[in-house]
């Protein structure tokens, strides 16, 4: 928060890019209480109207991400990488709602070794958070998913929603799953 206040001062050169690294180890040793609040982000973007933020999150719990992601962050790129924890569908949904104007890159990687299969972000809901991300985030040009279940019909929906604007759609083959009815048709 203090860094955001200093950078928001009008006597500083406006920022264009801010890269933030959030790691579970740093969260364990420091409180999230010093993270910038929404007012801090608003003040920073008033002085830096073209600011775009890139967040890399390593093994950050979904609850912690929900505390970090403030509505006024001009989030352009986000990269989740997990070895212990998994990102929740609620976090993906929040990102698609709050950052629909700026988000261009969304990378979701899970290296958790779980014999029961990859986590499914849709949590058996009708709406898949990744499909909603592709629908809401009209600037999305890169979507990479590794180690999470992506249903084949949702993968097709994502590709159709973004069309040629989606320059990179990268999904690990093992992540793609089919409904039993689809398998019979294939």
pLDDT score of 84:
78
Enumerate residues 6+ apart whose C-beta is below 8 A from 7: 15, 44, 47, 48
CA distances from 77 to 9, 57, 60, 141, 156 (A): 25, 11, 16, 10, 23
pLDDT score of 128:
92
pLDDT score of 34:
79
pLDDT score of 169:
96
Taking the domains of the chain in order of start, what are their residue ranges?
13-179
Q: What is the pLDDT along the chain (186 residues), one digit of tens a residue?
A: 888 888 888 787 889 999 999 888 777 667 777 789 999 999 999 989 999 999 999 999 989 999 899 999 999 999 999 887 888 899 999 999 999 999 999 999 998 666 567 878 876 667 899 999 999 999 999 999 998 989 999 999 999 999 999 999 999 988 888 876 655 555
∠ CA 131-134-136, nearest 5°, is 105
pLDDT score of 43:
93
pLDDT score of 112:
67
pLDDT score of 52:
97
Fold of the 13-179 domain: 3.80.10
pLDDT score of 178:
85
């Amino acid at each position: 928060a203090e860094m955001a206040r200093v950078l928001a001062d009008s006597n500083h050169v406006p920022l264009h890019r801010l890269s933030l690294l959030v790691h579970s180890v740093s969260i364990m040793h420091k409180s999230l209480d010093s993270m910038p609040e929404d007012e801090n982000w608003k003040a920073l973007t008033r002085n830096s109207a073209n600011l775009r933020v890139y967040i890399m999150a390593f093994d950050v719990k979904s609850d912690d991400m929900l505390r970090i992601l403030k509505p006024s962050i001009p989030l352009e790129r986000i990269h989740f990488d997990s070895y212990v924890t998994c990102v929740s569908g609620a976090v993906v949904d929040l990102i698609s709602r709050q950052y629909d104007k700026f988000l261009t890159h969304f990378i979701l990687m899970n290296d958790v070794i779980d014999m029961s299969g990859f986590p499914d972000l849709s949590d058996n809901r009708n709406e898949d958070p990744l499909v909603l991300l592709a629908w809401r985030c009209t600037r999305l040009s890169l979507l990479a998913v590794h180690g999470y279940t992506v249903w084949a019909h949702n993968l097709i929906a994502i590709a159709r929603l973004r069309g040629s604007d989606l320059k990179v759609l990268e999904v690990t083959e093992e992540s793609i799953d089919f409904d039993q009815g689809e398998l019979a048709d294939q």
